[in-house]
Structure formats: structure tokens, C-alpha cells
Amino acid sequence: MKFIVRNSKNRAPRLGLLKNIEGKTDVEIETPVVLLHTQGGHIPHVTHEVFKLVSKEPQILQIPLVSMHNFQETMQYYNGTISEFIGSKDSLTCLTLQDPSNLTKQGHHVKEKIPIWTKKGKVLYDSEMYMNIVESFKPDMYYLLSDGDTNKSSAPKRISKRKSDVLKKTFVMAPIAGGYCLKSRERCIEAVLANESDVGGFLIDGLHNNGPEVEFLPFVEVKDVVEHVIKKLPPEKLCSVQGCWNPVSVLKLVQLGVDMFDTSYCRILTERSAAMTFPIDSIEETDNFEINLRQPKYVDDFTPIMYSCQCLACSKYSRGYIHHLLTVQELLAPVLIMIHNIHHYLRFFKKIRECIRNNSLSDFENKISEQYKNHQEKVLSAKNQDEPRRFF
């Protein structure tokens, strides 16, 4: 697999192309791109067969090792690839260590080993064990092992403990760790660039501890770190971040030069019964950034989640019906919400690429930012009204 920057005149925002994919030479994927977040090899609430109704375009599946650890022994005896094993042989795969939609526990480290928390408890991975897994999974892309368990409060000494190996057969993403210490980041970059020819791209790791809280992480806290790291990296290489970033943060990260994200944000919205409704095209008019279909006001609402949306959920089902499914705890409810959220998020990234081509990304960002700000103010106002009055 090879990454090519298409608008070389601009360092950021930029368009790119993933091509020359082994075994799929006819497939080309434009960037900025979003990986389809999976758990146990499947998109949460959505099977591979159902997803074909959402999109027929080639996609990259994000495979967190933490959710696939229990299959490691099986994969050692399985001759196929991880995409074949999970029943999605036509999809590309990207192996990561942690699940960006779940909080990563801090600490619990052993020298030169990284912990992951599986259903069977803590499992320690060293570089040899991890690379054996990569070789048995045979993904199209993978992130090197790194100590990305850091956030703004992490100490530089704690951050500097990292180790990565290189596997040349697939597209390798090297993690840039160091938390919020710029000197630690620079030391990491210097070490990684010593083997630059073996690396296809970089993961800016250690900005957070994953989980739903990333949605509300103030972008101002990560801006300087991301900007500093990207300026130090070779511009011809792919740049990635993980996490449940909200759409406004995604746009700001794209403006800095980030090329690859994931759909863990879709998952956390679906878990709280929320559907994305922010406008993407100019013809779409909506006052809501997102709607929570559990709210009683949708009980008699027979309109779709979004009139302009062509996804399966909006084409065949109403807000009121999905509200009913949520009320009676039918499993179809999160399936329909997830279908809409992924469809909307894929449209969002398609719009991002279009705006970069038209030099209108800043206008699009301002529009989304304003609506997100209004949404946050509505949420805060509703929360204050729901709080019980105190009498002294």
C-alpha cells in the first residue's frame, strides 16, 4: 500500500490517496478518511451484510486488538487474513492496540510491556508477542506497539517508555508518543525517523485515554501538540489520530493536516440513543446538531431522522417508531441509529474532501462550529432546568 499526497502545494488541509493495495490493486481510497470502528471484528450493532446497505464503496475496518485477543490462538492456525476470518474479505483492515471508544485504564505497566484489558482481564504485550499477532492476523495496515496511555497530566518520565518494531509486509503506522511534553515528542520523532523508509505513516498517540470523554476534550488543549508534531513529520507520510472526536474537532484536525480518523464517535452517540442531524449540504436545513430519540417528544413524530438523508433508517422508519423500539428495548433500535450515524459520518468526510478541493473548508468549519456551540448551549440550559431547585 502506498500513500500519495494529491495537493502537494498545501501542507494542510490536504487530499491524499491510498493505492497499490496488495491483493486489491483496483482499490483506491481518498483521504481524509475515516476507519470503520469495530469490536470483535464487527461494527457495533451492524453486521457486514447490513453495512453493504449503508455503503458499497471500499472501506478500512479498524480492528482493535483488545477486542480480538481471544482469537489469537485460532488465528495462529488459520491460513487466511483477519478480513477473511471476520467474514469481510473485501474490506481492508487496520490493526490497532486499544479500542478508542472505551476508556483505557492508566498504569498497570511492566517494563517493556503494554497492558490491554480484555474480557478475561489484563494481558501484557511485548513487541515480540505483538508482532507475532500482526503476522498471524495479516492486516493491510497496522499501528506499531506503543505506550499511548497518556494524557495532559502524564509526566515526561512516564511517557518516554516506548518501543516499536517494524514489519515491512504491510502498511506500517508508527506511533508518536510523548503526551503533552513537546521534548518527549521530539525524541520519539527522532527515534522513529531513524527507520523512516519502513514507515508509511504516523499515529499521533497519547492525546487522551480514549472513551466517550474525548468528544468533549477542548481542542485548544491538543492543538499545540498536534501542530508541533505534524510540522516535524515528513509531509509525504500519512498522519492519523484515534478517538471519539466530535465533528468540530475533526475539522480542526483536518485543517492541521491529519488524514485519518475512526468512527468510534458514531458508536458513543448510538449508545446514548443520539442521531447526528447537523447539516452537511447547503440544501439541508435543521436546527439540531443531534437528536436523542429517547426523548418523549418523539413518541408521535412520524418524520424521518433527517428528510434529506437517504440511509436505510431514514428511508423506511420514523423517529416515532425508533423511539418506540428504544422504549421497549428492541435490539433493532441501536441498529437503525447506528446505520444512520455511520451513513451521515461517511457523508461528512466526503464533504470534507469536497471542501478541500473547493478551498471552502473554513466556511464549512464555521458553519458546523456555530451549530455545535448552539447545541451545547441548549444541552446546558436543559440540564440546568432539570436540576431540582434548592431552598435555603
Q: Are residues 292 and 239 in the same domain?
A: no
Asked if the model's pLDDT at residue 107 lies above 70, the reply is no
Q: Are residues 58 and 105 in the same domain?
A: yes
pLDDT band for 69, please (50, 70, 90 cuts): very high
Domain span holding position 288: 276-379
Residue 390 lies in a domain: no
Residue 392 lies in a domain: no
* Coil/strand/helix, residue 53: coil
Residue 296 lies in a domain: yes
Mean of the per-residue pLDDT values of the chain:
88
Asked if the model's pLDDT at residue 46 lies above 90, the reply is yes
Tally the C-alpha atoms within 13 A of residue 72's C-alpha that lie toward its C-beta: 17
Query: Pick from 245, 270, 295: which residue ends a domain?
Result: 270
Residue 385 lies in a domain: no
Residue 386 lies in a domain: no
Tens digit of pLDDT for each residue in 289-333? 999 999 999 999 999 999 989 999 999 999 999 999 999 999 999
Total domain count, the chain: 2
Asked if the model's pLDDT at residue 159 lies above 50, the reply is no
Residue 50 lies in a domain: yes
Phi, psi values for residue 2, rounded to 5°: -135, 140
Q: Are residues 364 and 218 in the same domain?
A: no
Candidate from 27-36, 202-211, 371-380 with smallest mean pLDDT: 371-380
The pLDDT score that the predictor gives to residue 141 is 95
355 known ligand binder: no
Q: Are residues 251 and 336 in the same domain?
A: no
The pLDDT score that the predictor gives to residue 167 is 52
Q: Are residues 218 and 131 in the same domain?
A: yes
208 known ligand binder: no
Residue 391 lies in a domain: no
The pLDDT score that the predictor gives to residue 47 is 92
The pLDDT score that the predictor gives to residue 390 is 46
Q: Are residues 162 and 280 in the same domain?
A: no
Q: Are residues 310 and 254 in the same domain?
A: no
Q: Are residues 281 and 371 in the same domain?
A: yes
Region 332-337 average pLDDT: 98
Q: Are residues 189 and 281 in the same domain?
A: no
Residue scoring higher pLDDT (285 or 211): 211
266 known ligand binder: no
Sequential DSSP letters for 17-29: EEE-BTTBTT--E
Residue scoring higher pLDDT (163 or 23): 23
Q: Are residues 231 and 296 in the same domain?
A: no
pLDDT band for 283, please (50, 70, 90 cuts): confident
Query: Which CATH number belongs to the domain containing residue 181 in this structure?
Result: 3.20.20.105
Residue 189 lies in a domain: yes
Q: Which residues contact 241 (CB under 8 A, 6 or more apart)?
A: 203, 204, 207, 226, 253, 258, 260, 261
Query: Pick from 212, 244, 270: which residue ends a domain?
Result: 270
Asked if the model's pLDDT at residue 155 lies above 90, the reply is no
HEC profile of 226-288: HHHHHHHCCCCCEEECCCCCCHHHHHHHHHHCCCEEECHHHHHHHHCCEEECCCCCCCCCCCC
Tens digit of pLDDT for each residue in 49-61? 999 989 989 999 9
Query: Pick from 241, 270, 299: which residue ends a domain?
Result: 270
Region 146-169 average pLDDT: 45
Q: Are residues 235 and 286 in the same domain?
A: no
Q: Are residues 134 and 241 in the same domain?
A: yes
Tens digit of pLDDT for each residue in 217-252? 999 999 999 999 999 999 999 999 999 999 999 999
188 known ligand binder: no
